[in-house]
Amino acid sequence: MNRALIRTEGLCKYFFRSSGLLQRREIVIKAADAVDVTARTGETLALVGESGSGKTTLGKTMIRIYKPTKGKIWFNEEDISSIGGARLKKHRQYMQMVFQDPTSALNPRKTVVDIVGLPLKIHQSSSRAACRARVRELLEMVELPADFLYRYPHALSGGQKQRVGVARALALNPLLIVLDEPTSALDVSVQAKLLALLEQLRGQFKLTYIYISHDLGVVRNISDRTVVMYLGQIMEAAPTAELFKQPLHPYTKALLSAIPIISDEEQDIIPEEITLNGEIPSPLDVPPGCRFISRCQEKTSICKSKEPRLIEIDNDHYVKCHQCFSSSQQTPEEVATQCP
């Protein structure tokens, strides 16, 4: 798991609107703003944060569902930031996505065999017989019976629909799958079974996952590394075990403190409860300085004027916070001089 399968450098995805007589474009939302992130071969990288933090936009931009506004994306050591046409189509078969809402992700007018077989028709021009045979194999992989081939989505439960989505993502033997909160719309018992299936498939096919979630309890159990996002930027990134053992950013601490505690072991790990005041600010009005300043309980004057830089402070442990350096020989003011 040392080789980078996909990585970004200064990746930005902005949404614009046109205004004025000349219809000049102005930036409305910086959904992902100067993000550097790496997913290594064979690992599960979790993207966590509250709704509106930019997790899904980042995931979609990384696999080129969205075209990046700025920055670079390397997939399998090839720059895919600005490619299009046949070159992008070639790479897309190796990068797939399982969406959050399984109902809206499946065409209600198509049968399972058509839904799962569509990638085969687009990328491999498979015959109907070959397509049907491959779909049978895929349904077996996701533990659905073959008689589901000709069912419509309305005849499936939520968990079954999501398994169909997973089967579709596996159709072209991808290297990377982005999982956008795949269990959030499911019952708890169904969630556990789907997560176990995803973990089994990852080992069986040597897949790399980018797992988008706000459920840190799940993230702790399935991810190798975790990236904490807030208002389009990374606040902290570390191996998952390290992040839960020693969170450094005030936002990470607040998120972890909200996890329900069900054992003495968790009591020793989870920080004391921290209540964040207010909601995440609108991406239409990003505060100056540190983006977390409006809700941070550890802020100082330097946080208002200087945006901190994401710095590696330990082995593979990165944090974007002035106050996290207070225990070192540098003061927050000295650290701020390193910031752009």
Whether residue 143 is contained in a domain is answered as no
Whether residue 119 is contained in a domain is answered as no
Mean pLDDT across the stretch 165-175? 96
pLDDT band with cut points at 50, 70 and 90 for residue 59? very high
Whether residue 127 is contained in a domain is answered as no
Q: How many domains does the chain have?
A: 1
Mean pLDDT across the stretch 191-204? 95
pLDDT for the residue 285:
79
Residue 330 has pLDDT above 50, yes or no: no
Whether residue 179 is contained in a domain is answered as yes
Please give the share of the chain, as a percent, with pLDDT higher than 70: 89
Residue 129 has pLDDT above 70, yes or no: yes
pLDDT for the residue 155:
96
CATH number of the domain enclosing 46: 3.40.50.300
Residue 323 CB neighbour total at 10 angstroms: 20
Residue range(s) defining the domain that contains residue 310: 4-94+174-336
Mean pLDDT across the stretch 131-137? 95
Note the pTM of the prediction, 2 decimals: 0.89
Residue 336 has pLDDT above 80, yes or no: no
pLDDT for the residue 329:
42
Whether residue 300 is contained in a domain is answered as yes
Whether residue 107 is contained in a domain is answered as no
pLDDT for the residue 335:
42
Whether residue 110 is contained in a domain is answered as no
Mean pLDDT, rounded, of the chain: 88
Whether residue 223 is contained in a domain is answered as yes
The amino acid sitting at 110 is K
pLDDT for the residue 270:
60
Please give the share of the chain, as a percent, with pLDDT higher than 90: 67
Please name which of 271, 277, 41 lies closest in space to residue 176, comparing C-alpha atoms: 41
Mean pLDDT across the stretch 287-305? 86
pLDDT for the residue 247:
92
Residue 165 has pLDDT above 70, yes or no: yes
pLDDT for the residue 340:
34
Q: Is the distance from CB of 135 to CB of 147 less than 8 angstroms?
A: no
Mean pLDDT across the stretch 31-56? 94
Count, residues in the chain: 340
pLDDT band with cut points at 50, 70 and 90 for residue 261? low
Residue 328 has pLDDT above 70, yes or no: no
Residue 279 has pLDDT above 90, yes or no: no
Each residue's pLDDT tens digit, 73-111: 999 999 999 999 999 999 999 999 999 999 999 999 999
Q: Rounded to whole angstroms, how far apart are CA atoms 220 and 223?
A: 6
